[in-house]
Structure 1
């Protein structure tokens, strides 16, 4: 029995040893396999990046593909991707489902670039990573290519601290014995259909802005060109001196600004895989034998900061699209910026600008409530006239006009302040969704982004309550039509539902405006009561 037990123990230990050895071998193989996988992934990643260089300043980082020297990625380091994200906002990007690139090159008779057959020069560089160090005034990133006939092409990216404009400089050393003829081009291409991760405002109509191409020429200071128009092959062909081309989206822009003399050709085209392109082509440039020629262009990749864009190119600041009320939105933004520089909070600046606007329009508000009070006092006489001339519409209108003239009442006086307020309201709305300075701008408590909707819908509800109190103070008793009365009583609910989607900064403006209205309403009506 003892022998059997010992045999079983020995057998158990032996089998356990074999199992342990097998497990160890498998673990080793797995580890080895994983290491091989890691090496393969790293090798693929290295292969993928061996034809790329990386450039970084204090405000922007770029990835340049050495095959053509195009900028394939651009991250804006001072702007977050999303409100609570730690990642910088990526403006240019090249992935399997989305392409957004800034391309440039030399085309024409002797130009080394050809977009049609994808024949682009493969540049080389001494380094893979370039960084603008502190206290440096500029960063120059040269990449080179030598043609078969010995012509040396040097493409240099020139970046400066705290700047979003990049100078692209082509230095062509023609070592051959013949004159070379070429054109410089700049092109921006982007996938028309946005992937979900980029289409963040698809469910909110109130926060959607123009996304597409734009250009400036001698004849048109600023002209938008829709992606739909490009996709329908209704392509642009404009010949102009100077000018610029751009692709726009909410708050950010990418723009090529030619730096050459002569007539540039601005064009659009639809590429494969649903990609739209807008670009420019310079006139022909001759490079003489045994000589150097420098050709420059400028590229803006960054936020739509009006004061900076204005210095880069004429009318480039118009890409901050304030719609048809730009003539009101621009001075409002300047005033708001002045207040912000004093206060240091965009929310309180909006409150202060509301007080200023309501003070300016106070005479109209007074006229409105005076007219409404007089109309309310005249209701018995109006009702009497309506009953007397019930079947004679023409006579009824004449008698009403006579009554208004006698009492010195303008029946439209109560609506005039509303018509004045609406353009101010709309211009502020365009300003909030178009000014990058207000992107992710916090106010107080739960409002962390004045350009976005209130996440808890508190402000729209408060706004609805202020509308209700204004209506109570105005009183709808003088409205005889029951249907009109129901509509008026239901208006605060409609407005509340509508404002759920609007930027919280705009709702804040409306709340403060309504509170001022309530105070003005009480003050004006009490004065009218005293002078009866």
Structure 2
């Protein structure tokens, strides 16, 4: 296989995959949405049921007695604001839901003062809900969700932690304190319930936590930057499993597992509920009116004896896909940085890229360095490829003699060719091995550059201020096309068909067009790789000439 076609084949394979993926998304078969089941069926399966009237989609049960009227909240507004060094939140005292979460360290656009909104209310509804159902659970009341009391409508972090207690109490003597605990520099929030039973009988409550999001949204992904937006979950047996909005429309998730978590994903950010990892939880999903997707987790019921106080807790994460932080929160949560089936290559490459960045403090330079490392590690394979190709070219006259001698007798021709390869010590597959190794490495690095939030708005030099988007002036794609053309001219070809020769000549131009929409970081990698290949080719050819191996 010709060396000058190696990167072209890799590129064409990638582009073909992206084209197929885009076609499937737009024109592929869509799942059939079944008729929704009755709420009573949902409740009988031990999974929260939901009303369809906006924020009232919370657990309910026919067996729950009506609660006594709830006292009004002390704050004048139902929405309270919470501000830390990383998050700007809005919490609705009705249920204590997080209805807005802005990521203060991540602007919506480069250079903007407006933070990225992960959770939000309004037309693009995306909220984090939680509560207590069960026989005495305040969220299961037929009169509606509980309205918590708050001492203030504004909280701001001034130290290393910020604790916000929301309180609720009914006339029977059952009181609940829902507490949000924030830690400086972190995006995970501890959400705990302290249930104090001041009644004369045991109280049964059951924690639930869920994420709710509209299923219709403006998709900012494209053929060259495909990104996933939808739900995901983890079980004891499956560390990470995506569950798309189409799947939620088609079928409700029902998984009982030790530990586990549920989440909602978008390109660089994730929200997730992580219940206690020491207990058995039920993961569920629900499609509301074909408009909202819900994925949640239901923890085991807890009985609180009279006079007893019991604390139940879970973790809510709202932030960037930071692999190191996510791995500490729950098993498999770091896999929301979705590198696909090549994660076992992508993760070491990302670790190496991060290490190189720590040395040079520039992600563009780190990409250049990792390219040098990868190409250097593969030099011996590249050398074998070039030498194998040279020997194959030198055998061309003898191969032609065999064709003239055996004509259409394929069996004898094949035997003669294998004997010739054995005698000349030539491996006909010697030129393919480097390509087979480069393909997964390239694809793995592609997903690293696509998925890693660290490269979002990452500056390189001059006009390239964001390595995660295309080159605004298309300089890198043009230089990459030129480098591919030089590689093509440097490496002799055995192609004799005029049409194939013209196709190969125009291939760098075609690939340059595709590169126009690729992330600048990926094009930078390809450009540097081509330049290194040019230098390596010169070195290999010089070494071959000294040993009497013709490269012509």
* TM-score, L = length of structure 1: 0.86
Three-state SS of the structure 1 residue aligned to 2:248 is: helix
* Contact in 2 for aligned 1:69/1:103 (Cα 8 Å): yes
The aligned counterpart of 1:186 is 209
Give unmatched runs, 5+ long, in structure 1: 1-47
Cα 1:397–1:486, aligned 2, differ >3 Å: closer, same or farther? farther
Alignment of 1:77 with 2:77, yes or no, is no
How far is 1:382 from its partner? 1.8
The aligned counterpart of 2:145 is 120
The aligned counterpart of 1:60 is 87
Alignment of 1:100 with 2:126, yes or no, is yes
Three-state SS of the structure 2 residue aligned to 1:381 is: helix
How far is 1:381 from its partner? 1.9
The aligned counterpart of 2:233 is 215
* Matched length: 474
The aligned counterpart of 2:266 is 249
In structure 1, C-alpha distance between the alignment counterparts of 2:143 and 2:500, rounded to whole Å: 66
How far is 1:312 from its partner? 1.2
Alignment of 1:155 with 2:175, yes or no, is no
Alignment of 1:305 with 2:309, yes or no, is no
How far is 1:385 from its partner? 2.1
- Shifted more, 481-490 versus 67-76: the winner is 481-490
- Pick aligned residue for 2:501 from 485, 488, 491: 485
The aligned counterpart of 1:164 is 187
In structure 2, C-alpha distance between the alignment counterparts of 1:399 and 1:84, rounded to whole Å: 67
The aligned counterpart of 2:356 is 339
The aligned counterpart of 1:177 is 200
In structure 2, C-alpha distance between the alignment counterparts of 1:279 and 1:59, rounded to whole Å: 25
How far is 1:394 from its partner? 2.3
The aligned counterpart of 1:500 is 516
* Contact in 2 for aligned 1:373/1:525 (Cα 8 Å): no
- Shifted more, 258-267 versus 425-434: the winner is 258-267
Alignment of 1:520 with 2:536, yes or no, is yes
Alignment of 1:230 with 2:248, yes or no, is yes
* TM-score, L = length of structure 2: 0.83
The aligned counterpart of 2:220 is 200
Greater length-normalized contact order (CA 8 Å, ≥ 6 residues apart): 2
In structure 1, C-alpha distance between the alignment counterparts of 2:160 and 2:541, rounded to whole Å: 64
How far is 1:273 from its partner? 5.4
- Shifted more, 392-401 versus 478-487: the winner is 478-487
1:20-31 correspondence runs (5 A): none
* Contact in 2 for aligned 1:260/1:282 (Cα 8 Å): no
- Pick aligned residue for 1:370 from 358, 367, 387: 387
- Pick aligned residue for 1:511 from 521, 527, 540: 527
In structure 2, C-alpha distance between the alignment counterparts of 1:241 and 1:154, rounded to whole Å: 26
What does the per-residue CA deviation read over 1:198-243, in whole Å, with 9 as the maximum and x for residues that have no partner?
A: x333xx22222222111111111111111111012x1111111211
In structure 2, C-alpha distance between the alignment counterparts of 1:170 and 1:137, rounded to whole Å: 22
In structure 2, C-alpha distance between the alignment counterparts of 1:475 and 1:434, rounded to whole Å: 38
* Contact in 2 for aligned 1:441/1:448 (Cα 8 Å): yes
In structure 2, C-alpha distance between the alignment counterparts of 1:530 and 1:281, rounded to whole Å: 72
How far is 1:49 from its partner? 8.7
Cα 1:260–1:309, aligned 2, differ >3 Å: closer, same or farther? closer
In structure 2, C-alpha distance between the alignment counterparts of 1:386 and 1:471, rounded to whole Å: 28
The aligned counterpart of 1:469 is 486
Three-state SS of the structure 2 residue aligned to 1:113 is: helix
